[in-house]
């Protein structure tokens, strides 16, 4: 069996409901339609990317986010807005679009300053249930792509709530950080090998694109 290609969002979909993951990501029987909230998030990310990259003025309705981002832009170092990274099955760096990629992701803003990296992921949604595992995956890819980095200061920036959820890592934690993903990746591997995709009914079923499932609110 070929190694499973994955991303944080794909793995999270699988964890939430293997059946939905299979129908949407594997069989591609259904498409996740962009909601107004998703379109807004994309627009904010684009505006903040350009602001960090070359100082493009933020649109009037996003100017309030500048006070959150400006302290990051004062850090002395090389900036990498919307930086793409990927690893192969051996957890070695490879091209984002390489056929050999195993896992990949995009950092909203990364700054490399000496042996320290600063990683930020912008969030336009609720800050009630922050998932820092996304930061851990970005940190692991950063360590692989930037061997000079020893320390990482990472955070989820909830721009609508003026909230910053921070985590710090050091290179000696690499094995432990990977261990936080291994269990879920092994479950996903077993689903592929056995063609077994369990349904996981939750209150989110009403918004699932797989509207033929008996747990969908339309059923």
Rounded average pLDDT over 171-200: 97
pLDDT band at 193 (very low <50, low <70, confident <90, very high): very high
- With 80 as the cut, is the pLDDT of residue 218 above it? no
List, in order, residues 6 or more apart from 76 with CB less than 8 Å away.
113
Q: Of 143, 148, 193, 198, whose CA–CA distance to 173 is shortest? A: 143
Cα 167 from chain centroid (whole Å)? 15
Q: How far apart are CA 1 and CA 177, in angstroms?
A: 25
Both structure tokens of 40:
């807004």
Check residue 84 and give its pLDDT.
98
Rounded average pLDDT over 144-173: 97
Check residue 179 and give its pLDDT.
98
Q: How far apart are CA 102 and CA 86, in angstroms?
A: 7
Rounded average pLDDT over 87-95: 97
Helix H or strand E encompassing 153: strand 151-158
Cα 44 from chain centroid (whole Å)? 16
- With 70 as the cut, is the pLDDT of residue 219 above it? no
- With 70 as the cut, is the pLDDT of residue 159 above it? yes
Q: How far apart are CA 83 and CA 77, in angstroms?
A: 15
- With 90 as the cut, is the pLDDT of residue 92 above it? yes
For residue 3, what are the CA distances in angstroms to 39, 53, 122, 188, 190?
Answer: 32, 35, 30, 11, 12
Check residue 1 and give its pLDDT.
67
pLDDT band at 215 (very low <50, low <70, confident <90, very high): confident
Check residue 117 and give its pLDDT.
98
Check residue 207 and give its pLDDT.
85
Q: How far apart are CA 173 and CA 175, in angstroms?
A: 6
pLDDT digits 0-9 by tens, 2-54: 789 999 999 999 999 999 999 999 999 999 888 899 999 999 999 999 999 99
pLDDT digits 0-9 by tens, 96-152: 999 999 999 999 999 999 999 999 999 999 999 999 999 999 999 999 999 999 999
For residue 9, what are the CA distances in angstroms to 5, 16, 121?
Answer: 12, 11, 13
């Amino acid at each position: 069996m070929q190694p499973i290609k994955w991303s944080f969002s794909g793995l999270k979909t699988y964890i939430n409901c293997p059946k939905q993951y299979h129908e949407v990501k594997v069989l591609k029987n259904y498409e996740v339609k962009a909601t107004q909230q998703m379109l807004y998030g994309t627009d904010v990310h684009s505006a903040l990317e350009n602001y960090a990259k070359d100082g493009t003025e933020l649109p009037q309705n996003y100017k309030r986010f500048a006070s959150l981002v400006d302290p990051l832009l004062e850090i002395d170092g090389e900036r990498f807005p919307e930086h793409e990274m990927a690893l192969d099955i051996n957890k070695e760096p490879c091209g984002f679009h390489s056929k050999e990629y195993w896992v990949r992701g995009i950092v909203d803003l990364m700054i490399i300053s000496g042996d320290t990296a600063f990683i930020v992921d912008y969030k336009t949604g609720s800050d009630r249930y922050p998932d820092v595992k996304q930061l851990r995956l970005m940190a692991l890819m950063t360590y692989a792509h930037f061997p000079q980095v020893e320390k990482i200061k990472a955070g989820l920036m909830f721009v609508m709530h003026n909230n910053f959820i921070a985590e710090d890592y050091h290179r000696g934690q690499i094995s432990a950080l990977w261990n936080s993903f291994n269990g879920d990746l092994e479950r996903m591997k077993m689903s592929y090998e056995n063609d077994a995709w369990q349904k996981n009914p939750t209150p989110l079923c009403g918004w699932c694109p797989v509207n033929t499932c008996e747990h969908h609110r339309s059923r």
